[in-house]
Structures are given as C-alpha cells and as structure tokens.
Amino acid sequence: MVTVKCIDEAVKLIEKYEPVAVINVGQAGGRVELSIEKVAINVKDYRIPDNEGNQIRYAPVVEGGPDAYFATIPVEKIADSLVEKVIPASVSYTAGTYCCNEVFYGVSHYLRNNKPGVLNGFIHIPFILEQAAGAKPPRASMPLEVIVKGLEIAVEVVAEGLEK
C-alpha cells in the first residue's frame, strides 16, 4: 500500500543518512496554518481512498503496537517560534487517521525500536496558493515561501535544542 511504501522510504533514508532528528511533513487540505503534531495514533481509518485506491478502515498501523507515540521534537517551542515570527502555526493533537498519521506512527515505531535516540515529529502544511486558486468552495492556503520559511524555523528550533 502507498503509505507502507512511504514508511519504507523514510526508513531507507534514515538508515542512509543516520539523522539525529526526523521531521515528517504532509499536506492537510483545509488547515489554515502549520500544524505541529503532538501525537500519532495506532489507527488507520481512511475516509477516502489513498493514491493507490486503498481505503483501509478500522485497522492498526502496527499490529500489537502501542496506542500512540508522542512527538519527541519540541512541539510547543516550534509552534511558539513560528507564531513569534508571524507564521500561522499551532500545536495539533491529532494527525488524523489517514496517510500522514500512518507515516508519523510508522516512523515513530521504527525509531523507538531501532534508533531510540533520534528525535521525531510531524508537521502538517496547508495547500499552497496554486492548489487553492479558483477552488469552489474556497480553500485555505498559504504561500509556498511562507511554508518553506516555517519548516526552516522548525529545523532551527530542533537543531538549537540538540546543541544544548
């Protein structure tokens, strides 16, 4: 399934580059700000099919896995730093039950069991302007350069914490 492929690809990159922190990023149409996710839950419940047509309902991300994983990046500090720099952001307590949550949970599970010292988190981004232009009904969006700046700030905040 497409999301398992995403987890597998993320794991390959983690193995190749051996990062000290991982920030997963996914798009959530309808969000009006950068959402710094606090929790990944062990639930797959797709209200719509994924990119390969799979519509998984009421299943665990990892059979027998814990109910949830909390982000280990400084979620609140990232959100506060973004708002201080006039980038719309907030802490979110649900990554949903679709592909993004599955990746967040799957990567968290892998790291916890294989690389427990690696920090991990997830940030949802809104549509960019080009995706929302002309949509009926209107869609929330954010300029790409603002999203990029926000992600750069998130990385800086995580890096600052690692230096201490």
* Active site residues per annotation: 37, 100, 124
- The CA distance from 124 to 146, in Å, is 13
Q: What residues form DSSP beta bridges with 123?
A: 25, 36
Q: What kind and span of H or E run contains 90?
A: strand 89-92
Contact between 134 and 61 under an 8 Å Cβ cutoff? The reply is no
Give the tokens for residue 92. 């979110």
Give the tokens for residue 26. 């996914």
Sorted by sequence, the CB contacts under 8 Å of residue 34 that are 6+ apart come out as: 82, 87, 88, 89, 90, 123, 124, 125, 126, 142, 147, 150, 151, 154
